[in-house]
Structure 1
Amino acid sequence: MSVPLRLPALLTAPLLALALLLTGCTSSPTSGAAPATAPVGAPGQGAAGPESDSASVLRSSPGSSPGSSPGSSPGAEPAPSPAAIPGLGPRTRAEIPEEARQAFVVTGEGEDANRSSAVLYSREDPAEGWTAVAGPWDAHNGMEGWTDHHVAGDLRSPKGVYTLTDAGGRLPDPGASLPYDEHPRFAVDGEGFFGEPLEGSFDYVVAINYNRTEGVTPLDRTRPLGQERGGGIWIHVDHGGPTQGCVSIPEDRMEELLRTLDPAMNPVIVMGDAETLGR
């Protein structure tokens, strides 16, 4: 009969500890292990998605949670996003220059409609976003509506975002901050599409920088895209009917607009039918 081999007590504890260590190396990760994070810029995150790079880094940092910021306590409300201009989709918003702090938004009733509504927005503090400061005002646009490829004589207003740098009119400057060219050549007569008189339509105008050179009188006929692409697209006094391609608002609103547009705020016009602007 054999006698069981008994190991000295001094050797038993080290061998048991070694066995436990070996067993632990082959176990699956515990539930508390941090999951792998996608790299910044991956689809749906960071610069490639609706969230900023800094937000993606923040959420992948140990101990952070969605909407948290450094130094914030768990469960704190995230900071509100800057107010966006109502009715503008992501594509249209992306076309507004970062330096623009005034936006005159002209929204057409439909792509083939010649009636529209105009609102002037301002952002004094980019962190707070856009605020409506004037309007809505009734407006007219081209007789045949809107187009994303305006050509001379198509009777449509060009869609898009354009800078506003120059003004003028037949009447004296009402207090404009934009450079203002008072000139008798702004006189116009005749009748509109529905027989309405055109006289006084160009008493006040703001040039829309579509196919024109910035920094010159609205009367300048230089056409960088070529004469076939049309030009002379202005904001002017409404004559009670559709335009050839311009945007028109009532005379008292034109005076208010001229006194409000500030070149230091890099004003732009955002114009088109509601469906297009909402994309």
Structure 2
Amino acid sequence: MIGYFRRNHFTPVPEVDPPAELNEMVDQWDLHDGHRRIGSRPRTVDEYFAIEQPLLKPLPQEPFETGRLFTPRVDRYSQITVRTNRYSVPTRLIGKRVRVVLHASHLVVYDKNVEVARHERLIAKGSCRLDLDHYLEALIRKPGALPGATALEQARSAGKLTPVHDAWWDQARKVHGEQDGTRALIEVLLLNRHLAHEHVVAGLATALRAGALTADAVALEARNAAQAEDEPTIGASAPTVPGQPPATVTSLHAWRLAHLPPDTRPLPSVTPYDQLLRSRRTSGSDHREGEAQ
């Protein structure tokens, strides 16, 4: 049936993006073919399969790995080569040998048994796919390498580096200087490891409107955006509306105080200390009177 399927569904070759869309189309074609009769046979494909299915052996309990295994060594650029194409991995793995499982549409990189990278598979030979997050630890020490980095351009093309990032970065460089402003952006990008991308973008937009050009301010506003659906946040910023004052960022001290549990303890008292002082004065007076006598 492979030839029949190819001639009827892959001629001409369908144009889809991403590959997951093609998998969904194949599933639909497969279900549709189940209602087809082959030649003059009285039953459909699905009906014949229902008769044969009880005769088949059960599926194995353990999942079967269909990917191809590679064990490349990470080069000095923090990249591995798999079938003429290069993919990035975290810089801490430079010089180490990693395990790669190559699938039809993606590949997964493991350091021992821990997944450290996942990339969409490259089809064209000699291509390169870089994840900017893999280089952040190195870039924060050498921020001057970020503006011309290939990983930065790929992140911008993939939508991970938005115009809001660029606008905040431009203002940060004007205020803090080229290196410190770029380092502040790298610290913001590190927030994506703990916060959702859309929340970080919302935090950047709020901080940019308020003129808060530090990674701490962005982190605070990103957390405010993440909590907005669950509970109203003290001092949370809202989008700028004509006729209203511009957005402001929350003080970190005020945010911490707002999230502390209520303190039901009574206020402290210094009464016991006053009694102790009076006792010392009385005993001192008695001592002096005794010496005078």
TM-score normalized by structure 1? 0.20
Compare relative contact order (CA 8 Å, sep 6+) and give the higher one, 1 or 2.
Answer: 1
Q: Which has the higher strand share?
A: 1
TM-score normalized by structure 2? 0.19
